[in-house]
A and B are shown apart, each in its own frame.
Chain A
Amino acid sequence: MRIAVVGVGATGARVARQLVAAPEVTEVRLIDPDRDRLRSVAKSLGDPAVVGGPSYDPAVEVDLVVLASPPGRHRLQAELALGAGADVVSTADSVEDVRALLELDEVATERGRRIVVGAGFSPGLTCLLARHAAGTLDVIDEIHVAKTGTGGPTCARQHHRALAGGAVDYREGAWVQRRGRTGRELCWFPDPVGAVDCYRASLPEVHLLVPAFPGVSRVTARMSATRRDRLTALLPMMRRPHAEGGPGALRVEVRGRRGKERHVMLLGAMDHPAVAAGAVAAVVAISLRDADTFAPGARGLADLDDPVPVLRALERRGVSCAVFEGT
């Protein structure tokens, strides 16, 4: 498998590291406008990583393109990759990128190519956990997602933008516009993260989960924020984002029915977001080698029929998930 990784920041470098260790991968072509970073990442990875150019060149033949570039360019890069006959795995975490990529569904289907949208920590692992929890229930009524923590500087900037933007909830079959930074909910994440205040924000999970679960009546997404985050969300970032965030966590609550009884499944994960996102994108990229994993088109990881092989592969790479048992 020849794979191009576009963007070698905190997440892209982790994706590339996971890919070079996979026996199925014969070439990992690294692409980034920052030449120094590109060379240092390629040098640290060794074979089969090779230095590509500053931007994705569809003339260089690869089987798959992993998009880990900053938000705003994923659709254009995906279109170029589709034109060159390559599959696409995107770690997009902005609503605009996710929606723009989902709009490529028809084009991708026509060309028999696959675009996996939001294959990171959140969205990505959140969608896998929602699908896994849904598998234990007969009817899915509600899905509520919460996340805390950020990966690299691009992720931190996106966190800031998401808090400033408007949120969308899905309620009883309708999209409801909500103000970001509202709807405080104290969410209990897997240990050692524990309880964190979470708020509505411009998060892409709702756009990925609603089409994947026809008949669901409520889908919401929240993310953690401090008082300072909320106060300064509408201003430019007060200080340079950190090179790497600390531990993050996810919490996915799926409510529904098993037989005649109502059940709540609560799944979660705790990891460094960039590390987990790198593992998710790499595992999904490798799984696309099998033509049956995903049908042609553009969709998120909640559309997987069976998320267990991906979750097992993630566990082997040290990304483990948890289930809440109790009241």
Chain B
Amino acid sequence: MLRAWQRAFVACGLAGLIAGILRLRGSGGTPPSRGGWRQLEGPDLR
């Protein structure tokens, strides 16, 4: 019984670790720190 629990914990731990690695892979993700989106209008469309 104890062995089954140990296996379950190890399996969950490994799944979490793999999910974490997959989630962290990739680039970007830095939120804009200043400014924002502004509608293109008037002088921008000349």
Q: Write out the residue numbers on chain B whose beta carbons fall within 8 Å of the beta carbon of A185.
A: 26-29
Q: Mark A310-327, 1 if CB is under 8 A from B, else 0.
A: 011001000011111111
Q: A193's closest neighbor in chain B, by CB?
A: B37
Q: A312's closest neighbor in chain B, by CB?
A: B45
Cross-chain contact of A327 among B29, B34, B45 (Cβ < 8 A): B34
Do A324 and B36 have beta carbons less than 8 Å apart?
A: yes
The answer, yes or no, to whether A219 is at the interface (CB within 8 Å) is no
The answer, yes or no, to whether A237 is at the interface (CB within 8 Å) is no
- In the complex where A184-B25, A185-B27, A185-B28 touch, is A323 in contact with B35 (Cβ < 8 A)? no
Q: B30's closest neighbor in chain A, by CB?
A: A186
Q: A194's closest neighbor in chain B, by CB?
A: B31
Q: Write out the residue numbers on chain A whose beta carbons fall within 8 Å of the beta carbon of B39.
A: 320-322
Q: Write out the residue numbers on chain A whose beta carbons fall within 8 Å of the beta carbon of B45.
A: 308, 311-312, 315
The answer, yes or no, to whether B46 is at the interface (CB within 8 Å) is yes
Do B28 and A325 have beta carbons less than 8 Å apart?
A: no
- Size category, A interface: 20 to 34
CA A308 – CA B46 in complex, angstroms?
7
Do B40 and A323 have beta carbons less than 8 Å apart?
A: yes
The minimal Cβ–Cβ distance linking A51 to chain B, given in whole angstroms, is 38
Q: Write out the residue numbers on chain A whose beta carbons fall within 8 Å of the beta carbon of B25.
A: 184
Q: Write out the residue numbers on chain A whose beta carbons fall within 8 Å of the beta carbon of B35.
A: 324-327
> In chain A, residues 167-195, which have Cβ atoms closer than 8 Å to a Cβ of chain B?
183-188, 190-191, 195
CA A322 – CA B33 in complex, angstroms?
18
CA A191 – CA B38 in complex, angstroms?
10
The answer, yes or no, to whether A267 is at the interface (CB within 8 Å) is yes
Do B32 and A324 have beta carbons less than 8 Å apart?
A: yes
CA A186 – CA B28 in complex, angstroms?
5
Cross-chain contact of A315 among B29, B38, B41, B46 (Cβ < 8 A): B41
The answer, yes or no, to whether A268 is at the interface (CB within 8 Å) is yes
- In the complex where A322-B37, A324-B36 touch, is A188 in contact with B31 (Cβ < 8 A)? yes
Q: Write out the residue numbers on chain A whose beta carbons fall within 8 Å of the beta carbon of B44.
A: 323
Max chain A C-beta neighbours (<10 A), residue from B25, B32, B33, B46: B32
Cross-chain contact of B31 among A190, A195, A308 (Cβ < 8 A): A195
CA A327 – CA B32 in complex, angstroms?
6
The minimal Cβ–Cβ distance linking B18 to chain A, given in whole angstroms, is 14
Cross-chain contact of A320 among B32, B34, B36, B40 (Cβ < 8 A): B40
Cross-chain contact of A322 among B27, B28, B31, B38 (Cβ < 8 A): B38
> In chain A, residues 2-31, which have Cβ atoms closer than 8 Å to a Cβ of chain B?
none
The minimal Cβ–Cβ distance linking B14 to chain A, given in whole angstroms, is 18
Binding site for A on B (CB under 8 A): 25-29, 31-41, 44-46
Provide a sorted-by-A list of 23 A–B residue pairs whose CB atoms are within 8 angstroms: A183-B26, A184-B27, A185-B26, A185-B27, A185-B29, A186-B28, A187-B28, A190-B37, A267-B40, A308-B46, A312-B45, A315-B45, A320-B39, A320-B40, A321-B40, A323-B38, A323-B40, A323-B44, A324-B32, A325-B35, A326-B32, A326-B36, A327-B34
In addition to A185-B27, A327-B34, 8 A-B residue pairs with Cβ atoms within 8 Å of each other are A184-B27, A186-B28, A188-B31, A197-B26, A267-B40, A311-B45, A323-B38, A325-B37
CB-CB nearest 7 A-B residue pairs: A326-B35, A184-B26, A186-B29, A185-B28, A322-B37, A190-B37, A321-B40
